[in-house]
Each structure stands twice: as structure tokens, then as C-alpha cells.
Chain A
Amino acid sequence: MDISISMTVNGKAVAATLDPRTLLVQLLREHLRLTGTHVGCDTGQCGACTVHVNGRAVKSCNVLAAQVQGAKVVTIEGIAADGELHPMQAAFRDHHGLQCGFCTPGIVMNAIDLVKQHPNPSEETVRAGLEGNFCRCTGYHNIVKAVLAGAAAMRR
């Protein structure tokens, strides 16, 4: 019944034997104990579970673990280098782009991909690009500021 899969997660090789219905987010949270990736809904709307799969932002609650066989997966735990925050993480701190912190990992991961697609985004582009992530705390005001600042820092 169980299936065997392998992939890289945050640069480390991972192999697991899983119930085939295991979602990527379940693999990350329950098997690998990478609990920074969160689940906020069950319909692919809230974006709290966003991670990178082969460099693109993906909602990990909408992907079976089996579908990412052989892929490179990066989670919020994997973007700071040697304790130094990624420029997008630093921008969220500097601009108070988070409050309760629950949606934050997903938004940061989406924002990094957004800036890769749009290196110099306008406020409108950022707001449209965050359409797939809910934040109930910040009203998005400071998240938008943080993403714009993060984009500028990533250009440097």
C-alpha cells in the first residue's frame, strides 16, 4: 500500500515511505517536523502552506507528496543562510509585516517567488500577487510595504 518517495528538502536528501494520500504539507510537518509551513484551510485559498517546489511557489496542501518525487523543495526553514535572514524575511521584520506569524511563512515564500517573476513590482502588482494568501492581522498594509522593500533588497 505505502509508497516510497525521495526528494531534496532544504538542500537535504529525504526519503520516506508513505500512505499514498499523504499531502506534501503532511510530509513536511508530520514526518520531517518542519512545522513552519502551516495549514489554514482545506480549499487551497489561504496560502499559509506555501513552499517552493523547483523554485516556484506552490500550495503544499494541494499537492500529494508523491507528486514531488525527485523535486527540490524549500520551506521557510530553508531560506535563511547561517542565521542571516533572507532579504525578504528581514524586510518583513523591518516593516512589521507580520503579527501573529501564522500566515507569514506562506506569504514570505510567495513573495520571494513573486519578486523573482517581477523584480521591480508596483504596489498593484504586489497586491495582485498576494491574492492567494490570507492575512487576518495586518490588513496587508505592512506586508505590501515589506514585499516592496524586500524586492529592492533582493535586487541589490
Chain B
Amino acid sequence: MDAPLIGKSVKRKEDYRFLTGGGRFTDDVTAPGQAHAFFLRSPHAHARIRSMDLERARSAPGVVAVFSGDDLAQAKVGGLPCGWLITGVDGKPMKEPPYPPLAQGKVRYVGDRVAVVIADTLNQAKDAAELIEVDYEVLPAVVKAAGARAPGAPVVHDMAPDNTCYVWALGDKGAVEAAFKSAHHVTTLEFINNRLIPNAIEPRAAVASYSAGDDAYTLYVTSQNPHVERLLMTAFVLGLPEHKVRVIAPDVGGGFGSKIYLYGEEVVLTWASRRINRPVKWTAERIESFQSDAHGRDHVTKAELALDKSGKFLAMRVTTTANMGAYLSTFASCIPTILYATLLAGQYTTPAIYCEVTAVFTHTAPVDAYRGAGRPEATYVVERLVETAARELGIDRAEIRRRNFIKAFPYQTPVALCYDTGDYDATLTDALKLADVAGFDARRKEAEKRGKLRGLGLSTYIEACGIAPSNVAGALGARAGLYEAGEVRVHPTGTVTVFTGSHAHGQGHETTFAQVVADRLGLPIENVDIVHGDTGRILFGMGTYGSRSIAVGGTAIVKALDKIVAKGKKIAAHLLEAAETDIEYDRGTFKVAGTDKKKSVAEVAFAAYVPHNYPLDKLEPGLNESAFYDPANFTFPAGSHICEVEIDPATGHTRIVNFTAVDDFGKVINPMIVEGQVHGGLAQGIGQALLEGCVYDPQSGQLLTATYMDYAMPRADDLPSFKVGTRETPCTHNPLGVKGCGEAGAIGAPAAVINAVVDALAPLGVRDVEMPATPERVWRAIQSAKSKK
């Protein structure tokens, strides 16, 4: 038996196909006879559709069909559902306005789908779309969260005349107010968590086919969770029998949250494929991605931290307005609530926390989960407050954190979560060492000599992954289960195919999951293949989001493996003529205890499929087991991120000179892949802090950052190489001891970067810089501070 595969940086099984052009992405799929769809989108943020003339487009060359929202309404196609019901402080359910796949009566954001043109070629569809005449009555628009509830603000939906989806709160308000009254010091900050556009490099795409012979549909789609896509689409929108729809999410080129949701395009394509009795394909152009992929973040927040003399946190009070955009996307409502306010304890023993969240509608693209989803926003609140408080009280930034760290586990926070395990002091100590914080003062002085302002910032974050258990989530408003499914099929010759409800779109599950399985079954990793992303092959699945795949999906596979081993023991006992209780199993070998009599997994599998010498009276043939796993709790990864920046005061340009992340993800299966996940998350977190920001024109509601020339994506020369480390405090409630690593970088980084920028500028009197801290903003902060002096 070889050394264990778990914990090894095994090279990825999926890389060969991606490196040789053999990946199979949705846009690579060509269905025989396929037509092409083009979506006509609203050029206005808010307008009434007085009339629409589709006839010229319908008779244009090559056009197969043109459909509008009215056609869908006539066909009784439903609206896109929201998967999480939030109940407000008034005890009433959130406002859920209709979200038609194609606009009906009104358009509510630039990019809102107005009509679909289907033609033999894409160029014909585009040409015909130009012949559609829409008579718009342009109406005033509101795009910013801050002004959405102001008296007289343009109304997005008549059912919510104050543009309010819900006002929701968590925590003990009375206890917080009492603590603030007795506080020695209160630190207050107001900030905007900037709106981001996810920008997976693969644009969204779909290919839908209908087979009249068996009345069945096949949809290829860029999805992170094909089963959820199918469930929502069949049960809520199209009213189709679920078993007649196969959803395949093949290779998917990045998701970051934006491909979790059910979008109008794939619904329209699926419906239309039957109407035209022909396959139909759509691939977003990048401008459509900017306009219509669900955006992320977009909070306006006031946050206060009450402290005693020694720097102990007494209470925290947070008021947030969250922008939902024009419609409620699939999980929009739970992001600024369940995944945000519950994280405000951070790594600290703050005894009282109160958070009130007002979710508003605006004339902008829907906002939903984007890498981190609520947790980066929470971390930003907590870690900006903590660092600012440390400066105001003259306490070292690491020391103030240590004084408040949670040290005993399990720990029940005042905001609903119960952390199972962690060692925050250890990750901080490691990070301080790896970042050489001891040498920072000397580096700062040296930078000063070169006329540069150098700053250092910390961020010690907590994350909650794998929302669970389902019944608790259900009580909080979830309208879906939050388990995962897995199936392990041991073939007669002892090779294995694993079917998982998790979906990989860059995470490397084909390798990581295979490591777990090969390790447990004592097989070479080449003999284990992982299948994901196909409702026709996989029993069920909730998909990949919230860093849940290894903790929930991986555990479902382990549960199935346990069943394989249990059955294998029975078979081995028969083959070895021993009592089942005497069979010991260790990584691929069934052995009679205390003897050298043994059988391999392959031998047992062969006996199971060729059951000549087999207890057929007691046991079914075959070796194929499945499991559903519903976790007992969230997992709680945590870590310490340290950013060091250098700012050119003449230009305001910020350069990251060092970035260090030490994270505790519990047990690590593949360190190489985990480090890669951290790197990618950091890039997105740094992008949010320094570069990226979605801008809508406040008057016209036009999306001003709708191309890569206007939206600043991090490029290779914007980023440093990172220093990363891990600590392993195993999760206590799953068998692998794993926690999840996908979002950590994006969660911890923004606060670390801005803390570093503010640290660099603090000697000038700067207290805050808004994200993204562009050269212009930094330069203005410097000038404004200078003029005050």
C-alpha cells in the first residue's frame, strides 16, 4: 500500500484536457440543427413598454421565432422564484415581486430581457433584433441603495411603494444599547461595500433541445448546481415533469456565485426549444455578462463598536442597507441577512451584537451571492472597526485582537452561530511571523526615504461554510434542502466511478474527491473517476457554493464509501469463511483479524458482480452505494490575513508589496489545490479593495462599467505573489475534519488591504478610504487630509 493520498499535492486529473483544448464548455456544445438565440435587452433603467412591434423581426431572413414577455405569459410560463424567505421585524414576509423571464409591461434595469429572437444563425438573430420596435415611456430611475427609500424616489415595484423588500434584525438590541451606555470608548465608521460584477471568464451560455419522441428536454447550461436549476425551472417556472428534463453543466469556466442562479435565458431557451421543435443555443456576450449576471455586495453600513478601557469589545451595533437590484435573484434575500449578520462576532467574544438590515429594490441588475456572499461584507465591518479602535485606543493591532479572541470551543455567539473549533491565536502568530511584521517599522522608514508611504493591515476573519442542517435553514426561511448526495460505483474489476452532486468549475474536485476515494479503497488514483454536473447521471445534488463541496459533498461520498466497506465486509467474510465481526478493513484490504487471510476491494467487487461463490440468500449482488449527507452544523474556517502596501503620495497609486494569508481550513486534502483557491480568493478580495467597482449613472441608470475597458479587473501586473500558510484544526462534526477553502481569500483580503492603506495614510490624519481605493480616491484623501492640517 502506497502512502496516503490525503494531504498530498496530487497533480490534477482534469488538467490534461484543459491544457490540450479538450475541455467541453457549454459554448463548445453543438446540437444537430441548432438555431441561435439573441436577447433584446432594455436600453433603459426604468421604462414602461407602451408597445412592441415584432412583425418585421419575425419576417426577417433566417428567423425561426421571436417571443416577448406576453408570449410567455400567454403560455403560462411563471416567474423566477426566490429560494429564501426572509421574515421582517414586523413579522411579515419579504416583498416578492414577480420576476418574469422576459419583461412584462415594464423594464427595470439596463439589460433587462425584453424579447428573444431565434434564427438559423446568430448574425441573423442579431440583425432581426434590430428590427424590433419598442415604444418605451422612459421613467425616472433609482440605482443607489442609499436613496432608494427617500420620499419621492422612483418606485421599482408597485407592491413595494417604499422600495423596501424587508427590514430584518438579529441580536439583542436592549443588551447592545445598555453596553454602549457604559462603554469607555465607541468607534464608529460608515462605509460602502462596493458593488462588484463577478466576471467568470466563461460567459453564461445554454443549449436547449427538445425530443418530441419521448417528450423530454436536455439543457446544457453554465451552472454551479444543475439539480437545483432543474428543480426550480420545472417546479416553479415551466411546470414540466422533473424527470423529463435533463440538465447538464459540463465544464464550467468559473462561477464565483454568478452561475448558482436560475436565469431567464435558460428558462426561455428550454421553453422555446419545444415551441420551435429545434435545439437552440445562446451564449452571452461580455456586455451581457456585465449587465445581467447577478452582481455582488452593494451595502451601505453604519457600524459601531463599544469597548472598555482595556480594549475588550463590549458590544457591536450595525445598520445596513443592502441593494437587491430590480428583482430578487435565487438566493438574494439570505445574503445580507443569514450569511452576513450571523458573522459579525468574527473571531471575538463580543457579548452583545445587534444588526438591522434593510433590503431595497433599485433599477439595477439583481444582486446575489458573489464569492464570500455576506461574509466579506461582515468581515469588512468587523475588521475595519477593530483596527480603527486599536488606533484610537493606542493598542497594538494584534494585541487588541488577542485580548478578544474566542479561546474555548464550542462557542455560542450572540448572533446564532455555534463555532465548533478553531485556534485563532495560532493562525495570527503564524501570519505575523510569515509576514515579518517585526521588521515592518524598518521597512516603513526605508520607504519614507524613497518618498513612499508604507502601511500594514491585519484582518482576522471567520467564515461559515456549508449552510446546515436543512431543518435549521428551513426554519430560517430556506426553501430548499442543504444536504449533498454522492454515489460510489465499484465496477466488477475494481475500478470506481463516483457520482457527486457537487459541481466543479475550477475547484479540482475530480482530483480532490478521487484522492479521498482512492485512499479509502486502496486504489491508484487513476482507477477512480469523478462524475459531476449531469442530472441524468447523478442521483441528486445541491451543487457548489458557499465553500461547501468537500465538507458536504465530500462527506456524502465518505458516507457512501462506508456503505461499500460495510457490504464488502459481508462479502469478504463469506469468501474468507470467517465471521463478519472478525473482518478488519484497512484502505483496500479486508482481512480476517489475527491471520494473513485477506481479500482486496477488486476481489470483493468481482465476487459481488459474478456471484457464484456469494451469500445470495442474505445479500444482493453488486457493489454500488449512495448516500445523502445533511451536516449537523456549519463549518468554520478562519484565518489571519496581513497586507503591506506602498503608496506613492504624488499619484495616490497603491502597490501591494506583501500579502500573507494563514488559514485554518481543518484537514487539507490537496495542499496545492487549497493554496490555489486561496490565491484566487485573494485576487478577488484585493480587486474589490483596490480596483473593482460597478458604477451606474445616478441619473440615467446606465451601467457605466459594462466592458473590460471600464471595469478594472485585476491583471497579472496588479498583484504580488502571495505568502500562504495553513493550520489544521479539524472540523469536529464531519469524518474528514474538513472545513472548506473556496471563499476565504475574498473574505479576509478587503479589510486587510484597506487597513493597510489607512495605516499608510494615518500619519497624515486619514481615517478611512472608500473601496475601491483607486489612485484618485487615495490622492484625494491625502489632499483633503493635508488641507485640514
B120 at the interface (CB under 8 A from A): no
User: Given the complex, which residues of B lie within 8 Å of A139, measured CB to CB?
Assistant: 679-684, 714, 719, 722, 745
Q: Is B506's CB under 8 angstroms from A99's CB? A: yes
B 1-35 binary contact with A (CB < 8 Å = 1; else 0): 00000000001101111111111110110100000
State the Cβ distance, B544 to closest chain A Cβ, in Å: 12
Please, which residue of chain A has its CB at the minimum distance from the CB of B719?
Answer: A140
A93 touching B721 in the complex, CB below 8 Å, given contacts A48-B201, A99-B507, A127-B716: no
Contact across chains for A98 and B683 when beta carbons are under 8 A apart? no
B680 to A: closest C-beta gap in Å: 5
CB A1 to nearest CB in B, in angstroms, measures 12
Hey, which chain A residues are within 8 Å of B716, CB to CB? 126-128, 130-131, 133, 135, 140, 143-144
Q: Which residue of B lies closest to A21 (CB)?
A: B123
Instruction: Given A21-B123, A96-B12, A100-B201, check contact A45 B676 (CB 8 Å).
Output: no
- Are A100 and B506 in contact, CB atoms less than 8 angstroms apart? yes
- B286-A41 in contact (CB<8A): yes
Instruction: Select which of A45, A102, A108, A144 is within 8 A of B254 by beta carbon.
Output: A102
Contact pick for B22, options A36, A39, A96, A123, CB 8 Å: A36
A85 to chain B: closest residue by CB: B19
B31 CB to closest chain A CB (Å) equals: 13
Residues of chain B in range 305-342 having any CB-CB distance to chain A below 8 Å: none
* Cross-chain contact B253 with A38 (CB below 8 angstroms): yes
Q: B201 touching A96 by the CB < 8 A rule?
A: no
Number of A-B contacts (CB under 8 A): 185
Give the Cβ gap from B641 to chain A, nearest Cβ, in Å: 13
Neighbouring B residues of A33 by C-beta, 8 Å:
30
Contact across chains for B25 and A102 when beta carbons are under 8 A apart: yes
Chain A residues, Cβ within 8 Å of B202: 38, 40, 100, 102
Q: Of all chain A residues, which has the CB nearest B20?
A: A80
Partner of A89, one of B19, B199, B713: B19
The verdict on B52 contacting chain A, using a C-beta distance below 8 Å, is no
Tell me if B285 is interfacial: C-beta within 8 Å of chain A.
Answer: yes
The CA-CA distance from A46 to B285 in the complex, in Å, is: 12
Q: Verify if A42 is at the interface (C-beta below 8 Å from B).
A: yes
Contact A98 B21, beta carbon cutoff 8 Å: no
CA distance A12 to B24 in the complex (A): 23
Chain B: residues with Cβ within 8 Å of the partner, total of 58
- When distances are taken between beta carbons in the complex, the residues of chain A under 8 Å from B28 are 29, 35
Which residues of chain B in 716-755 are interfacial with respect to chain A, using CB atoms and an 8 Å cutoff? 716-717, 719, 721-722, 745
- State the Cβ distance, A9 to closest chain B Cβ, in Å: 12
1/0 per residue A76-117: CB within 8 Å of B?
Answer: 110010000100010011101011111111001000000000
- Check if B579 is an interface residue, CB within 8 A of chain A: no
Interface residue from B30, B251, B715 paired with A134 (Cβ < 8 Å): B715
A137 at the interface (CB under 8 A from B): yes
Q: Is A156 an interface residue (CB 8 A)?
A: no
Cβ–Cβ contact B19 & A92, under 8 A: yes
A117-151 interface code vs B (CB 8 A; 1 in, 0 out): 00000011011101101111111111111000000
Which residues from chain A contact B722 at a C-beta distance below 8 Å?
A: 139, 141
**Of A19, A76, A92, which is in contact with the most chain B CB atoms at under 10 Å from its CB?**
A76
Asked whether A135 lies within 8 Å of B201 as measured between CB atoms, the reply is: yes
Give bound CA distance, A139 to B21, whole Å.
22
Asked if B111 CB lies within 8 Å of chain A CBs, one says no
Q: Which residues of B contact A101 (CB under 8 A)?
A: 14-15, 17-19, 23, 251, 253, 506
Chosen A-B contacts, 9 in total, with CB atoms closer than 8 Å, are: A34-B21, A38-B201, A41-B708, A43-B709, A45-B709, A76-B21, A101-B253, A136-B256, A144-B721
Residues on A close to B: CB < 8 A? 19, 21, 29, 33-43, 45-46, 48, 75-77, 80, 85, 89, 92-94, 96, 98-105, 108, 123-124, 126-128, 130-131, 133-145
Other A-B pairs beyond A36-B20, A108-B19, A131-B716, 11, CB < 8 Å: A34-B21, A36-B23, A41-B286, A46-B201, A85-B16, A96-B11, A96-B675, A98-B15, A100-B202, A105-B18, A139-B719
